[in-house]
Structure 1
């Protein structure tokens, strides 16, 4: 009798255990190539993977409010557009792709809170973001500890240098930007410069690279000035720079700072070339700076001037595809920041495909990804988690309120 009772009790327990094990089986599936809009071919999915149609959850932390919102809003829009494209083409190997957005409010602490929430509550397999270098650095520390793959949309070189497992980024770094600007200055015979950079991690990163590479290009820094991200005026720093023998001024920051600088420089009759970093390479700079923007030089990615890209350029086709899609969706031209988000999700989807359905291998697989994006030609490796070079950057000048490529 006792043996019969135990049998009646153990049978449903064993059955429940089998159901539970079956539900936990699955995992991430191979991804469709979002850049080409194609699905993974038939027969590539494991039988266990076919049984699951649950969404693949990815987190995206962007600066949707605060000073970095001109970066974060277009990044979010580009990602939303691409998610629709991927899912319309059948998703990621038959599974829908779900991106869960969080706003870090342009704040480092909020960014870390957001990534913790995405991991603990949403169980995301990877995360995109953030828009700014400071928030991204905080997120990267947490993501590395959690072994969570992360692709940042921020520019600071220290996000991926030194290399950390699973941490990648899409924008050109301050190293790339610095070298491209110095190449231009050398061509023009300019040897003495002044710098005026934001004191945040992005601006400080530029300062460090300018100091590091100036001797290599025969350039002397005659003045170094900083400003706070929320400072309403930089006229005192500009007045000091005007009193030097600087032949050019390099500014590094994100809007509105650079726009304020060029307006005040014009008021002070600072008649030397002003070169801005790619942190302000967008239409917002033109809007904020107004007529004062004319004559300003800038280092940027090719996406800033899509109609001026050589048709034979390897990036030309994907830039056209992205620009056409973005304009149709939002009735406006995309900027480089939108491109960072678009490339980030495309790289992640390609990584999911190459990981063969195993999300735990995503970080390792991304190191081998080769991808032609709107920002540049990415070639990740174990030694390089940015995968770009300064050669994919261009110099532009603002003429009549528009960016014009300098040949």
Structure 2
């Protein structure tokens, strides 16, 4: 598969576009025929991801997964006897630009469907734009549907297991291990605030939240908030954030010699995070991760084990780094493969027919098993596991009490 780049004149200036096809016969700027078919009748898909800016840590990985999925499809005969082209546009971590790029993909590139964006604010902005164009968009934000109203969701879908599933994994772990008091540590972002908000909706928690301590994202010294959490004498501290803030928390726990167990959300099990936080500081930390990272220890009867292997093999075949299965690339892969399944079911690259197929989809993916309906546009059944860092690598908790 060739990867070709072209500069596309976007409504807010030049943005990077990458067109992927097995034969490399068409560039992003050339796909201008209707119905999702460009030159040679190829099926046209679009992607809006943050390739630059603050949220590019997610977008770059997601886009790699989407590219690998397209290569995998094309290497295995394409869809409906046609090759698949993917046009990837950079929203530069700007939700307003994501909206306009959705418009560009639908009106200029005439895509059948879109994958992305990757950050929840951008998702909230982009989904209504896709609805106006009547083109399905398979998003990668972790808090679907967020503030989107029901009438805005008709053409919007999610291929990321909700954060609440990971929280439920921790709740099960606490039940099994007898945790009675939990401290929550956040950085004031909407993602971070989703943890205490979700816990507040639960009426049967086996534990009490003893404190919700927050610092401002980007703070240099978070020791006051860590000490506030620890001084509440919890049995466990849940830190819910990503990137440098999460690294700061881990290092602060180590520096203050905190001996209370620490749990973290997904995105913290990648090799790059381990390098940033330090193996010694991470030892004993429990975090949510994808089944792909724990593939070798998955039971033989795991429902999606075959799909997990296809993802890992597909990333390798594309020459891309799956970070030992911890990469968020799995979300981009899952988005493309979800759309591919719907296109096969519909027997067409027509946008409306794809959307109808998604509304009745049962799909076994690499991240989760998905049962999507007209009322549930995510439909994830599982999708996250818990792992503990043993001083050298992440090991899956074979049961909640491990």
**TM over 0.5, yes or no?**
yes
Name the SS for the 1:217 alignment partner: coil
Structure number with higher helix proportion: 1
State the Cα distance separating 1:208 from its structure 2 match: 1.2
Name the SS for the 2:53 alignment partner: coil
State the Cα distance separating 1:139 from its structure 2 match: 1.2
CA contact (8 A) 2:66 2:336 kept: yes
Of residues 55, 62, 73 in structure 2, which corresponds to 1:75?
Answer: 62
Distance (whole Å) between structure 2 residues aligned to residue 127 and residue 229 of structure 1: 31
CA contact (8 A) 1:104 1:110 kept: yes
Question: Where does residue 307 of structure 1 map in the other structure?
Answer: 296
Aligned length: 361
Question: Where does residue 345 of structure 1 map in the other structure?
Answer: 336
Of residues 365, 368, 381 in structure 2, which corresponds to 1:373?
Answer: 365
Distance (whole Å) between structure 1 residues aligned to residue 34 and residue 141 of structure 2: 33
Distance (whole Å) between structure 1 residues aligned to residue 362 and residue 98 of structure 2: 29
Q: Mind listing any 5+ residue stretches in structure 2 that lack a counterpart?
A: 1-31
Cα 1:380–1:342 shift into 2, 3 Å: same
State the Cα distance separating 1:209 from its structure 2 match: 0.8
Name the SS for the 1:305 alignment partner: helix
Does 2:347 correspond to 1:356?
yes
CA contact (8 A) 1:159 1:169 kept: no
Distance (whole Å) between structure 1 residues aligned to residue 112 and residue 33 of structure 2: 15
Alignment of 1:4-403 (within 5 A): 27-28=35-36, 53-159=40-146, 164-213=153-202, 215-291=203-279, 292-328=281-317, 329-330=319-320, 333-357=324-348, 358-390=350-382, 392-403=383-394
CA contact (8 A) 1:302 1:309 kept: yes
Larger-gyration structure (1/2): 1
CA contact (8 A) 2:265 2:287 kept: yes
Distance (whole Å) between structure 2 residues aligned to residue 255 and residue 205 of structure 1: 17
CA contact (8 A) 2:267 2:327 kept: no
State the Cα distance separating 1:376 from its structure 2 match: 1.2
Distance (whole Å) between structure 1 residues aligned to residue 315 and residue 75 of structure 2: 16
Q: CA RMSD in A?
A: 2.4
Distance (whole Å) between structure 2 residues aligned to residue 26 and residue 166 of structure 1: 19
Name the SS for the 1:295 alignment partner: coil
State the Cα distance separating 1:160 from its structure 2 match: 8.9
Cα 1:175–1:303 shift into 2, 3 Å: same
TM-score, L = length of structure 1: 0.82
Cα 1:313–1:81 shift into 2, 3 Å: same
Distance (whole Å) between structure 2 residues aligned to residue 121 and residue 225 of structure 1: 47
Deviations 1:38-70 (A, max 9, x none): xxxxxxxxxxxxx98333221111222233323
CA contact (8 A) 2:184 2:237 kept: yes
State the Cα distance separating 1:180 from its structure 2 match: 1.3
Name the SS for the 2:47 alignment partner: strand
State the Cα distance separating 1:156 from its structure 2 match: 0.8
Distance (whole Å) between structure 2 residues aligned to residue 252 and residue 122 of structure 1: 38
State the Cα distance separating 1:222 from its structure 2 match: 1.2
Q: Mind listing any 5+ residue stretches in structure 1 that lack a counterpart?
A: 1-23, 30-50
State the Cα distance separating 1:87 from its structure 2 match: 2.2
TM-score, L = length of structure 2: 0.83
CA contact (8 A) 2:285 2:389 kept: yes
Cα 1:287–1:69 shift into 2, 3 Å: farther
